[in-house]
Amino acid sequence: TDPAVIRNFCIIAHIDHGKSTLADRMLQRTGIVSERQMRAQYLDRLDIERERGITIKSQAVRMPWTVDGRAYALNMIDTPGHVDFSYEVSRSLAACEGALLLVDSSQGIEAQTLANLYMAMENDLAIIPVLNKIDLPAAQPERCADELAGLLGIDPSECLLTSAKTGEGVEELLDRIVAEVPAPAGDPNAPARAMIFDSVYDTYRGVVTYVRVVDGKLEPRRDIEMMSTKARHELQEIGVISPEPTPSQGLGVGEVGYLITGVKDVRASRVGDTVTRADAPAEEEVAGYEDPQPMVFSGIYPIDGADFPDLREALDKLRLNDAAITYEPETSVALGFGFRCGFLGLLHLEITKERLDREFGLSIIATAPSVVYEVRREDGEIVSVTNPSEFPDGKIAEIREPVVAATVLTPSDYVGAVMELCQSRRGRMNGMDYLSPERVEMRYTLPLAEIVFDFFDHLKSRTRGYASLDYHESGDQAADLVKVDILLNGDQIDAFSAIVHKDAAYAYGVRMCKRLKELIPRQQFEIPVQAAIGSRVIARQTIKALRKDMLAKCYGGDITRKRKLLEKQKEGKKRMKAIGSVEVPQEAFVAALTSD
């Protein structure tokens, strides 16, 4: 295809603003999906994605569109919407020349949209502002148009009004893509270079890799090379998705499509990497490749210890299509055998837990999420801590924690509430801008650990659901952190250790002691539950001993009742965990970790 008739674009939108629905309408209008084949959210293939209404994996689809008798090829590249996947978003944007800025006209622009818009502007993409859902009675297209106009430095009339529901404005949108998105530029005679912007595991085909060709041409049945690893593979198939995969004789400058090499693990075909021809390799990668870095760690344990091998197998399978997840075996006195898993962020963790449950039928328990701390001991050794129970002993010189640059967009009525929340989470304000008299953008530096713990829920409840949040990693800072241990009868319960700010240590200790006191059944003797920093106890609760007359019930009586009782106890024993001399049913720990 002649690059002059190619248009590569993506859609930047907040969740629920109508990206998938708009994509459906475009598929229909361009005729590649017929009325009969149409199903809602055609491109969202993962079930879980469909149910949650979010897009985890991006896709690329090619649509024909004719303007003034000239046939164009429009490549729509879907971007993941959530902050956890910001590197993937950046790669999708880098594969495009234009972006639709899609805003629900009954809601206005949100923080995530703003963050992605800034990224698109940095990449010099042509931006087409689209106000969606104009069919809704609550739509306020004029107000939104003013907001976008201020943001983009354009006239409000340049905003296109659409309803992805009725299809209004969709043809005009397709025309504007052709008119306003630049055609791709690249050198057809240079060595082939294509950037990977997504890679998905398919049970039948192995890894399917989505690429955007920058220079030269990639052809089937030749060897290709992954530039970051120098790994070589035969290119078994290459083609475009329209709307199903269609093999072709190759992809040239500016084209977007998929390729298959038969590899089975997405790690062999990484987002951000450059594909070149093995016999005539390019000199330089398209852009510096970045390894995905896990930001949030959690211990994942099967509730039934017998499921441990199944859990391992499930994680092995998940890894095939999730290059960002990491895991290694760990053991906990309280929870048994499990894995310490690393995730890009909280949503990534939630999705993984849900997939383990849904796709693999596993009941699991996850310990409180933790970020990665750099602990420098007084002897100079630096330890990277992803599991609080592995916090080094001895004198500590400094602890560093990761911080994020956060953007909160809120109606101006809630500015005070947001400030209060951010301050209580150790935030530092970096600036504040009014997008309009009613909407404010607030910028903060916040410890990632503070965001990981229910920050978003608090933000939502303090702003009646109106504020939105976006953040990206922004280095680290020294902080006054301590490790709080929870002790049962003097012995540490490993899964409950936490690294918290000095000022929050007491509250954490009290909360956990109370919770465990309520959940751990009484025993023959009195058991102290304590929270401690090192050897200093900061909170204490006591589980009282069983009364004598209750114990008496267990003795005497007829023999069958006794036997039954013994059998019951044996069954129970399997799930008992010993913390020092105290036996605790595992359910108590599970409940303590899940209740909030």
Going by the DSSP 8-state scheme, the letter that residue 59 receives in this structure is -
Binding of residue 165 to ligand GDP (CB under 6 A) = yes
Q: Which residue is nearest to ligand GDP (CB)?
A: 18
The correct pick among 121, 135, 319, 479 for binding ligand GDP (CB under 6 A) is: 135
Scanning 15-23, 381-389, 457-465, 510-518 for contacts with Mg ion by CB under 5 A, the matching segment is 15-23
Find the radius of gyration of the CA atoms of the chain.
28
Q: Smallest gap, in angstroms, from Cβ of residue 50 to ligand GDP?
A: 9
Q: Can you read off the two tokens belonging to residue 347?
A: 């949503």
CA-closest candidate to residue 258, choices 202, 174, 189:
202
Scanning 55-63, 219-227, 277-285, 366-374 for contacts with Mg ion by CB under 5 A, the matching segment is 55-63
CB-based contacts of 293: which residues, under 8 Å, 6+ apart? 344, 473
Binding of residue 13 to ligand GDP (CB under 6 A) = yes
The correct pick among 5, 46, 48, 136 for binding ligand GDP (CB under 6 A) is: 136
Q: Which does 29 bind (CB under 5 to 8 A by kind): ligand GDP, Mg ion, none?
A: none
Query: Is the sign of the CA dihedral 36, 56, 182, 276 positive or negative?
Result: negative
The correct pick among 7, 12, 20, 298 for binding ligand GDP (CB under 6 A) is: 20
Q: Smallest gap, in angstroms, from Cβ of residue 110 to ligand GDP?
A: 11
18 labelled ligand-binding: yes
Q: Which residue is nearest to Mg ion (CB)?
A: 20
Binding of residue 20 to Mg ion (CB under 5 A) = yes
Binding of residue 113 to ligand GDP (CB under 6 A) = no
Helix axes 415-424, 455-462, angle to 10 degrees: 160
Q: Smallest gap, in angstroms, from Cβ of residue 89 to ligand GDP?
A: 14
The correct pick among 74, 114, 128, 164 for binding ligand GDP (CB under 6 A) is: 164
Binding of residue 59 to Mg ion (CB under 5 A) = no
CA-closest candidate to residue 441, choices 59, 135, 150, 164:
150
Q: Smallest gap, in angstroms, from Cβ of residue 136 to ligand GDP?
A: 5
Q: Which does 116 bind (CB under 5 to 8 A by kind): ligand GDP, Mg ion, none?
A: none
Maximum distance among all alpha carbons in the chain? 96
CB-based contacts of 567: which residues, under 8 Å, 6+ apart? none
Strands 206-215 and 193-202: antiparallel
* Total chain residues near ligand GDP (CB under 6 A): 16
Scanning 128-136, 173-181, 236-244, 335-343 for contacts with ligand GDP by CB under 6 A, the matching segment is 128-136
Binding of residue 546 to ligand GDP (CB under 6 A) = no
Contact by Cβ (8 Å): 287, 271: no
Tokens 């001895």 belong to 394
Scanning 115-123, 127-135, 295-303, 499-507 for contacts with ligand GDP by CB under 6 A, the matching segment is 127-135
Going by the DSSP 8-state scheme, the letter that residue 370 receives in this structure is B
CA dist 35 → 42, 166, 509 (Å): 12, 14, 59
Q: Can you read off the two tokens belonging to residue 325?
A: 């997840």
Q: Smallest gap, in angstroms, from Cβ of residue 33 to Mg ion?
A: 16
321 labelled ligand-binding: no
CA-closest candidate to residue 80, choices 47, 116, 111, 48:
116
Cα separation, 302 vs 287, whole angstroms: 41
SS3 561: helix
Q: Can you read off the two tokens belonging to residue 170?
A: 């969709």
Cα separation, 472 vs 374, whole angstroms: 19
Q: Which does 501 bind (CB under 5 to 8 A by kind): ligand GDP, Mg ion, none?
A: none
Q: Can you read off the two tokens belonging to residue 150?
A: 């201020």
8 labelled ligand-binding: no
Q: Which is nearer to ligand GDP, 163 or 367 (CB)?
A: 163
Binding of residue 53 to ligand GDP (CB under 6 A) = yes
19 labelled ligand-binding: yes
135 labelled ligand-binding: yes
Burial of residue 92, with CB atoms counted within 10 A of its CB: 0-12 exposed, 13-18 middle, 19 or more buried: buried
CA-closest candidate to residue 2, choices 54, 72, 66:
72
The correct pick among 15, 183, 231, 320 for binding ligand GDP (CB under 6 A) is: 15
CA-closest candidate to residue 84, choices 342, 424, 444, 365:
342
Q: Which is nearer to Mg ion, 24 or 401 (CB)?
A: 24
Scanning 133-141, 248-256, 269-277, 566-574 for contacts with ligand GDP by CB under 6 A, the matching segment is 133-141
Q: Smallest gap, in angstroms, from Cβ of residue 10 to Mg ion?
A: 13
Binding of residue 17 to ligand GDP (CB under 6 A) = yes
Q: How far apart are the first and last CA of the chain?
A: 57
20 labelled ligand-binding: yes
Q: Smallest gap, in angstroms, from Cβ of residue 137 to ligand GDP?
A: 9
Q: Which is nearer to ligand GDP, 19 or 355 (CB)?
A: 19
Q: Can you read off the two tokens belonging to residue 502?
A: 């000095």
Burial of residue 466, with CB atoms counted within 10 A of its CB: 0-12 exposed, 13-18 middle, 19 or more buried: middle
17 labelled ligand-binding: yes
User: Which residues here bind ligand GDP, judged by CB under 6 A?
Assistant: 13, 15-21, 53, 132-133, 135-136, 163-165
Binding site for Mg ion (CB under 5 A): 19-20, 55
- Enumerate the known binding-site residues: 16-21, 132-135
Which residue numbers belong to the known binding site for GTP?
16-21, 132-135
